[in-house]
Amino acid sequence: MFFHLMLTSDCNLQCKYCFGESLDDFAEDFGEELEVDYNLPHSVNYDLSLLERFCRQDPECVLTFYGGEPLLQMDKIRQIMNKIEPEHYMIQTNGLLLDKLESEYVNRFHTILVSIDGEESVTDYYRGKGTFRKVVDNLKIIKNNGFNGELIARMTVMEQNDVEKQVKWLLNNDEFCFSSVHWQLNAGFWGNDYQRRSFEEWTKTSYILGVDELADFWVEQMAQNGVVLKLYPLLGIANSLLHKEKTSLMRCGAGWINYAIQTDGNIIPCPTMWGMKRYYLGTIKNSSPLALKKIFVNQKPCNDCKILDVCGGRCLYANITKRWPDEEYSKVCYTVKRLIDAVEKNVPTIEELIRKGKISLEDFDYMKYNGAEIIP
């Protein structure tokens, strides 16, 4: 099982698409039916021996440090890594403090997901002036100090992003090249933003066209260089289509194999469901990681959708909270359909490349539920 350890709700950035949006959203009435606890501790307040015992019950336990910004709780990270031996450690971070954590800890991470939205001008627009330069410098430091795990560029994509241009830039540039890229479409999460955004126009004139181009570029790299680039939204969908795998389960694993542990020790399906007491599934004190309740998307429009077997419902939080009206959210679903179409149209070419030995089916394997949502 996979568990996001929410070490703190504090962060050292105020990103345009995260901090400000969430504050405005939670200022509204979030609905009594969700029973949101707004008074959770800002940092971990449970005994780590409880976490150790909890994790020990699952021989395949994977712990991902998460926040807020988890590296603000560096001492807690050291304490946990000194005390607990899961199958893997991962971290999702903005990267600003990566140079402060000793290599003996950094080099134990199986995966580091670092938030970066593309080239310097784009990243700094969303995340603050100087952020890009500090993050890139820190990534060079940890690589020079021996980190050889997977390093994933975790992009947030909205109207200021040209997704094709920025993904290609992250793969090949003069600053720092990533071998793995994941992008998350910022849509349907906050209740106050759809009215003032030009989401539909942007997706039809930029985002969807960019995804189509990226899918074609991805397959061209297979044909020309025999390389299957780790572009996670494409990789995961292709993996399912090639294996003829059908699932109505959430692709990120939320609520059935990938959970989050709050700072108070309560277990929730997903970090974005912070404080939603109606969806507390257990505690590290009294629950077994192998017997946690499972939550599935079982409502319209998902349960009668033709692409559910591949999509899995996109986002559990968005489905439950419905922060965008159905008509607006259908425009998000349309981007998902076009993403799947962009991959599916290339499957015959991919299968032919496999038959010819240019690439292999194993090239599409990846560590599932590693924080890179397959449906952005």
Q: Distance of CA 303 to CAs 256, 309, 312, 323, Å?
A: 17, 10, 9, 19
How many CB atoms neighbour CB 108 within 10 A?
A: 12
Angle 268-274-275 from CA coordinates, rounded to 5°: 90
Distance of alpha carbon 271 from the chain centroid: 10
* Enclosing H/E stretch for 363: none
> pLDDT tens, 193-213?
777 688 899 999 999 999 999
Contact, 57 vs 77, CB < 8 A?
no
Structure confidence at residue 20 as a pLDDT band (50, 70, 90): very low
* Enclosing H/E stretch for 50: helix 48-56
pTM for this one?
0.95
Position 160, amino acid: Q
Q: Is 191's pLDDT higher than 80?
A: no
Q: How many whole angstroms separate alpha carbon 260 and alpha carbon 254?
A: 9
User: Domains in the chain, please, with CATH?
Assistant: 2-356 (3.20.20.70)
Structure confidence at residue 84 as a pLDDT band (50, 70, 90): very high
Contact, 138 vs 177, CB < 8 A?
no
Q: How many whole angstroms separate alpha carbon 72 and alpha carbon 75?
A: 9
Q: How many whole angstroms separate alpha carbon 152 and alpha carbon 246?
A: 26
Structure confidence at residue 299 as a pLDDT band (50, 70, 90): confident
pLDDT number for residue 87: 98
Q: How many whole angstroms separate alpha carbon 313 and alpha carbon 64?
A: 23
The mean pLDDT value of the chain amounts to 92
pLDDT number for residue 26: 54
